[in-house]
């Protein structure tokens, strides 16, 4: 269509595609707000929610909860009766609930960075940060929904006594792996102080603090410590890209065998770069946001082929890999040193 001028006022049908994108963006905020405020959980548990009583019970604004529900209704996520302020799950409620951690990553974790992309492009990066706690919380939920069934199956075939988790985030992986493996112990390595604090709290709450230790460490600068002496399994979820550029990833992965002298298995799961025709990107969820955010941070996202190449060069043998469609372009690799244990 031509640019609108004062002479020709466009009708909404002239810009329907872009209006759709605008409205979807707004709905996207409402999905995250519903998840963060407990609206999603309540609708899932009870199949019904009355805005006023829910808001009162949770000390929230009833007007805003109604408006969030009204916004979700536009996208068929809920059915909302504005007269009674009553909501029910809509036709795509389950899909929205399932994908909510990805929206939390986008808005809660990366929102402030995404709002300043043009400033970043101009080189003005001071004070622009992601929210480490929100990213840890979103990642923990993503693990539970998307990766755990496959990871648990893999874990059943790995004989380990001490697991080290690189970029441990909320500590959830360690709590889960140690909790389900009698006699095992765990050590988490995490760079962000707020995530270390979150993980320590969650580990204490789990009652496993006598078996799991959380250390504030940069995993790209590891050296042997006593706490690592018996580590035989290393896991690294949703942070492998932080080990790049390539030469650094090779060094870090090679160095793991010195830092953890008994390690026999490394399980690495990360979102890789989308490949192929860019126009097919609408068939994905998460990836284009992940790539945009990391472009803003100057972090390279490798492809599966590049990862396989790095594993080989750093002396790890990839004996299994599983691909996920949600979140898109995410791969779980099982790597071994060739030593017994798998
Ligand atoms: C996306 S989160 C994933 C958290 C967790 N692995 C999970 O799957 O839930 C990535 C985590 O890696 C941490 N991280 C990034 N670079 C790191 C580094 N060099 N050393 C230690 N942790 C790092 C971040 O602070 C963040 O908590």
Digit-coded pLDDT (tens) for 40-82 = 999 999 999 999 999 999 999 999 999 999 999 999 999 999 9
What's the pLDDT score for residue 73? 98
Smallest CA separation from ligand 1 atom 24, residue: 167
What residues form DSSP beta bridges with 321?
Answer: 333
What's the pLDDT score for residue 36? 98
Read off φ and ψ for residue 317, nearest 5 degrees.
-100, 120
On the question of pLDDT at 5 being above 80, the answer is no
Top pLDDT among 342 and 153 is at 153
On the question of pLDDT at 3 being above 70, the answer is no
pLDDT digits (tens, 9 = 90+) for 259-283: 999 999 999 999 999 987 655 667 8
Top pLDDT among 10 and 233 is at 233
pLDDT band at 237 (very low <50, low <70, confident <90, very high): very high
What's the pLDDT score for residue 202? 97
- State which ligand 1 atom lies nearest to the alpha carbon of 243: 19
Residues with CB under 6 A from ligand 1: 132, 135-136, 139-140, 143, 167-170, 172-173, 189-192, 195, 218-220, 237-239, 242
Q: How far is the CA of 131 from the centre of ligand 1 (A)?
A: 12
Q: How far is the CA of 238 from the centre of ligand 1 (A)?
A: 7
Smallest CA separation from ligand 1 atom 14, residue: 167
pLDDT band at 8 (very low <50, low <70, confident <90, very high): confident
Q: How far is the CA of 168 from the centre of ligand 1 (A)?
A: 6
Q: How far is the CA of 261 from the centre of ligand 1 (A)?
A: 22
Q: How far is the CA of 25 from the centre of ligand 1 (A)?
A: 27
pLDDT digits (tens, 9 = 90+) for 27-42: 999 999 999 999 999 9
Q: Of all residues in the chain, what percent carry a pLDDT higher than 90?
A: 91
């Amino acid at each position: 269509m031509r640019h609108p001028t004062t002479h020709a006022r466009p009708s909404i049908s002239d810009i329907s595609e872009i209006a759709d994108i605008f409205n979807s963006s707004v709905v996207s905020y409402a999905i995250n707000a519903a998840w963060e405020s407990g609206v999603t959980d309540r609708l899932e548990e009870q199949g019904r929610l009355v805005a006023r009583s829910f808001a009162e019970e949770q000390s929230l604004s009833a007007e805003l909860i109604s408006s969030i529900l009204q916004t979700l209704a536009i996208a068929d996520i809920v059915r909302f009766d504005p007269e009674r302020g009553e909501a029910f799950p809509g036709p795509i409620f389950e899909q929205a609930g399932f994908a909510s951690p990805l929206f939390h990553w986008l808005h809660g974790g990366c929102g402030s960075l995404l709002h300043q992309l043009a400033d970043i492009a101009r080189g003005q990066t001071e004070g622009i940060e992601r929210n480490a706690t929100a990213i840890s919380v979103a990642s923990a939920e993503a693990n539970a929904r998307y990766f755990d069934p496959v990871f648990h199956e893999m874990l059943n075939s790995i004989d380990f006594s001490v697991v080290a988790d690189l970029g441990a985030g909320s500590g959830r992986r360690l709590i889960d792996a140690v909790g389900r493996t009698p006699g095992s112990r765990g050590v988490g390595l995490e760079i962000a102080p707020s995530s270390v604090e979150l993980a320590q709290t969650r580990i204490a709450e789990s009652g496993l603090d006598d078996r799991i230790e959380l250390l504030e460490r940069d995993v790209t600068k590891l050296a042997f410590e006593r706490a690592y002496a018996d580590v035989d399994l290393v896991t690294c979820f949703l942070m492998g890209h932080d080990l790049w550029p390539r030469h650094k990833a090779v060094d870090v992965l090679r160095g793991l065998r010195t830092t953890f002298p008994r390690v026999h298995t490394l399980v690495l799961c990360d979102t890789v770069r989308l490949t192929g025709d860019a126009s097919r990107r609408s068939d994905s969820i998460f990836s284009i946001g992940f790539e945009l955010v990391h472009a803003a941070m100057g972090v390279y996202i490798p492809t599966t082929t590049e990862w396989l190449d790095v594993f080989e060069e750093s002396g790890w043998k990839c004996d299994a890999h599983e691909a996920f469609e949600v979140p898109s372009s995410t791969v779980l690799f099982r790597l071994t040193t060739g030593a017994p244990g798998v």
